[in-house]
Structure 1
Amino acid sequence: MRALFVISDVIRDEAIEVVDELRKANTTVSIVSGDNRITTGSIASMVGVDRAISEASPVAKKELVTDMQSKGHNILMVGDGINDAPALTEAMVGIAMGRGTDIAMESADAVLVRNDLKLILYFMNLSKKTFSIIKQNIFWAFFYNIIAIPLAVSGVLHPIIAAGAMAASSLFVVGNSLRIRNRNKALEV
């Protein structure tokens, strides 16, 4: 009697779509795994990832992140295991999957509560929109300070009008920030 057991990782349903979307966004996607070369290569080819690094220890994962960042790359690391924790900590942005280990979730900058890889795309889009709104808010705050304060100090602008302009500037910044909520709904996965 003979028996053959095949054990392999199951590819998540959304993995291929997420990798495709990341590539469309001009993002380089790599798989860094502690698994053997055959398993890692197989999964990488199924999801469309060109670069797969296998048999990587936790230290090797961290060193890879450090090396890539020292070359000027912005690294977003996604992981769920104990062996991902050092790399999650080292990466510019570390994201832990919600069903991962406690140490991975503690090490990461963000935790995706739902175990859905599409949330990585949502997270990235929301981060870009938030950063854009922050830059707009800084512009308007400086615009007010550069124009209204010198005019008020020199006596050209009445202090009451300057105070009103400052309040209006603050309200604009708050209102502009609230747009994140609207964009948040538009980005939902």
Structure 2
Amino acid sequence: DKTGTLTSEQQTLEACLIEETPELSEDAIRLLLRRMCAASDHVLARSALEHPTLRSVPLPVGYGRSADPSRGLKPAARDMEDGEVPNVSERPDGEDTDLPEPEEVRTVPGLGIEARLGRRIVRLGSVRMMHECGARLGPALEPAVREAERTGRAVLCLAVDDRAAALLTFSESFRPQAVRTIEELKRQGCRVVLLTGDRALRGQAVARRLGVEVLAELRPEEKAEQIRSLRTRYGPVAMVGDGLNDAPALSAADVGFALGCGADLTREAGDVCLLGDELPMIPWSIGLARRTVRIIKQNLVWAVSYNTIGIGLALAGRLNPVLAALAMFGSSLAVVTNSQKAGRVLPSSGHSSSL
């Protein structure tokens, strides 16, 4: 997986474009954008909240993400009594705007989140989400989307009903160990394939940067299908992921690596859970597993050979019982000593407690 796995947890917001609608002013759209970002657990939404463009927009006390991902994301807002006036929030310029808080916020797997705003539907997600829900990109946003895709930038869109109202573009940065980890996996003989929900042009830009094969525009269930396809073509498959969208692929893989910085459901779906987010632990874990299997095979060969020879000598009457007992002790000692070699290869400094 790319986003949140190979990329860092903090991305750079480069541009925030807002297209006013007849019902919503620029300040109202900016407030709605901040509320929707606060209700999302996606790395791009979290990064947007840290930017001065949205950070200066106030939020109601207690507004945030639900702790239970299985129930969807939901703002922590109290229920309003019948006839009560909708919540009034301040604009950055000090004026007030009557804008109710988004309700019934839910996750759309692989695309984004959507919520109800009065009688309207608000969506925050990818360009693909905008296309699938029929949200039109206006004359100010359409060229920006094409330029972002051409230059390999990530895009986050806000739509109200069937019209896109805001566009955020990000310059994604990869974790410092990402390239080194990929190179190490290749040295181990692994074929590295990147699965992402990004559009094809963005995927091609990432492929050129990292030097790996990229399969783009994949939804969570499509990632799982690609895992099964790769297993048919190449054999056993290991999947590395951190988000809710990666859970189906982690379950479909022969071995699933879940980063400790990811969601609870992702860690449940993985076979190996890294307590931190140190990518070099992945090739180290694979190397440790291979070394362990090699030592097990050596011990089996030694044990079978020893017992075959010992039983033959005993049947021929050439093995004294005392010598047989000493030989058994020596054999067990040899197996245990050989097994200790598996623990001599330690991860690099600072990562020893990450597995």
TM-score normalised according to structure 1 size: 0.87
Q: What is the CA deviation profile of residues 10-63 of structure 1, one whole-angstrom value per residue up to 9, with x for unaligned ones?
A: 3111111212222233322111012322333333322221x1111212221111
8 Å contact kept, 2:258–2:270: yes
Q: 1:92 matched to which residue of 2?
A: 254
Runs of 4+ more than 3 Å apart: 2-5
More helix by share: 1
How many angstroms apart in 2 are the aligned matches of 1:77 and 1:63? 12
Q: 1:33 aligns with which of 196, 213, 237?
A: 196
How many angstroms apart in 2 are the aligned matches of 1:120 and 1:32? 17
SS in 1 for 2:240: strand
How many angstroms apart in 2 are the aligned matches of 1:155 and 1:103? 62
Identity of aligned residues (%): 37
8 Å contact kept, 2:182–2:192: yes
Report the CA distance between 1:8 and its aligned residue: 4.3
Q: 1:103 aligns with which of 265, 283, 287?
A: 265
Q: 1:142 matched to which residue of 2?
A: 304
More strand by share: 2
- List aligned pairs for 1:1-150, cutoff 5 A: 4=17, 5-49=168-212, 51-150=213-312
Report the CA distance between 1:137 and its aligned residue: 0.9
Report the CA distance between 1:164 and its aligned residue: 1.9
Q: 1:163 aligns with which of 318, 325, 329?
A: 325
How many angstroms apart in 2 are the aligned matches of 1:16 and 1:53? 18
Report the CA distance between 1:3 and its aligned residue: 5.4
SS in 2 for 1:71: helix
Q: 2:139 matched to which residue of 1?
A: none
RMSD: 2.0
How many angstroms apart in 1 are the aligned matches of 2:253 and 2:321? 48
Unpaired runs of at least 5, structure 2: 1-14, 18-167, 350-355
Report the CA distance between 1:105 and its aligned residue: 1.2
Aligned residues: 185
How many angstroms apart in 2 are the aligned matches of 1:138 and 1:3? 63
How many angstroms apart in 2 are the aligned matches of 1:164 and 1:94? 44
How many angstroms apart in 2 are the aligned matches of 1:89 and 1:160? 53
Q: 1:188 matched to which residue of 2?
A: 348
